[in-house]
Amino acid sequence: MPKSSNQKIKLLYILKILTEETNDEHGISIPQLIERLDNLGISAERKSIYDDLEVLRLFGVDVIGGKRGSSYCYHIGKREFETAELKLLTDAVQSARFITEKKSRELIKKLESLTDRYEATKLQRQVFVTGRSKAANENVYYNVDLIYEAMAADRKISFQYFYINEKKERVLRKDGKKYEVSPWGLVWDDENYYLVAYDSDSGILKHYRVDKMLKTGIMSRRKREGEDSFKSFDIAEYSKKAFGMFGGIAERVSLECDNSLAGVMIDRFGSEVSLRPAKTEGRFVVSFDAFLSPQLLGWIFGLGKGVKIKGPKALKKMFKKQIEEFCDQINKK
């Protein structure tokens, strides 16, 4: 192909070269740009390059020129994402358990394309920082998109639901029969995505782990149900009450804690949580609404001797029974 026929894409290649190969520490001169374009089969004169750089500036690209040694070079300054922001996004993708390892690498590769090749290597190193547990269901990424699409279309969805047995095998619930529910929201809790949906058979809202859903599809002829139930449902408030998204009986819980645990309570329940001084010096009482579940008991137990359950009585009874059962297990020969 004659070099003259490639003139229409010259500006795009200049932008690509500047974006991928330059930053505040690395620039490129006009002669180097002309040489790079020539290798791509595009002829260019010095004056046309100056004109192209000016067009990029007018378009909003932060093209900066300056002296580097004996040469005058150009580089991209401000970008849509700073390296620190891309590192945060990279770590978020890598940390998310609901995203598989394969999909994590694909997403991080796309994040790398948002910066130059020098900074991209820093993102690549992020991938191998930890060996966090990841989901095995590759479809989770598309399940989330499909759920949002169904909610926008006001339609039901269907899916198979599974659990993992002791042999690390997937076992379909309900013998593989598909669940049919009305999706109303997605909740991020305990490092997992949960679908909040209305189950017309039981007449209540339920939640499902998105990474345990298979063969998910939109039921194009089935309109969503349960709008009235969802109107009175506060997802954010529900997430505060539920531990590990396991429900139960919601009651007012009061704990007496060492002052050192104030930050733990605020991190879990938010800055608006009720904290008041206890009668004992160096301690406070925290009150919140929560579902009385085994997961709540486990959370309290993990806080150690710095916590004392003030109420309700049902929680005290549950905690005592759980401890007794643990002791029985330990004492068994």
Domain that holds residue 115: 83-126
248 shares a domain with 213: no
Assign 5 to helix, strand or coil. Answer: helix
Higher pLDDT, 104 or 181: 181
Reading the block at residue 67, the tokens are 């002296």
Question: What integer pLDDT is reported at residue 173 of this predicted model?
Answer: 92
> Last residue of a domain, which of 184, 202, 231?
231
> Last residue of a domain, which of 231, 251, 271?
231
CB atoms under 10 Å from CB of 261, counted, come to 17
DSSP 70-112: TEEEEEE-S-SS-HHHHHHHHHHHHH-TTS-HHHHHHHHHHHH
The reply to whether 137 falls in a domain is no
The reply to whether 132 falls in a domain is no
Nearest residue to 116 via CA among 70, 80, 91, 67 = 80
Q: What is the pLDDT of residues 146-161, one digit of tens each?
A: 999 999 999 999 999 9
Q: What is the pLDDT of residues 121-135, one digit of tens each?
A: 877 654 444 445 556
Q: How many residues does the chain have?
A: 333
DSSP state of 271: T
CATH number at residue 317: 3.30.70.240
Question: What integer pLDDT is reported at residue 128 of this predicted model?
Answer: 46
Q: How far apart are CA 132 and CA 113, in angstroms?
A: 24
110 shares a domain with 187: no
321 shares a domain with 271: yes
Question: What integer pLDDT is reported at residue 240 of this predicted model?
Answer: 62
Higher pLDDT, 298 or 271: 298
246 shares a domain with 215: no
How are beta strands 307-311 and 283-291 bridged, if at all? unpaired
> What average pLDDT score do residues 276-297 get?
87
Question: Into how many domains does the chain fold?
Answer: 4
DSSP state of 232: T
157 shares a domain with 217: yes
The reply to whether 297 falls in a domain is yes
Residue 219 has pLDDT above 60, yes or no: yes
The reply to whether 139 falls in a domain is no
322 shares a domain with 246: yes
Question: What integer pLDDT is reported at residue 55 of this predicted model?
Answer: 94
Q: What is the pLDDT of residues 240-258, one digit of tens each?
A: 666 555 555 678 899 999 9
Assign 142 to helix, strand or coil. Answer: helix
CATH number at residue 56: 1.10.10.10
Q: How far apart are CA 151 and CA 119, in angstroms?
A: 38
166 shares a domain with 98: no
The reply to whether 134 falls in a domain is no
State the pLDDT confidence band at 47, using cuts at 50, 70 and 90: very high
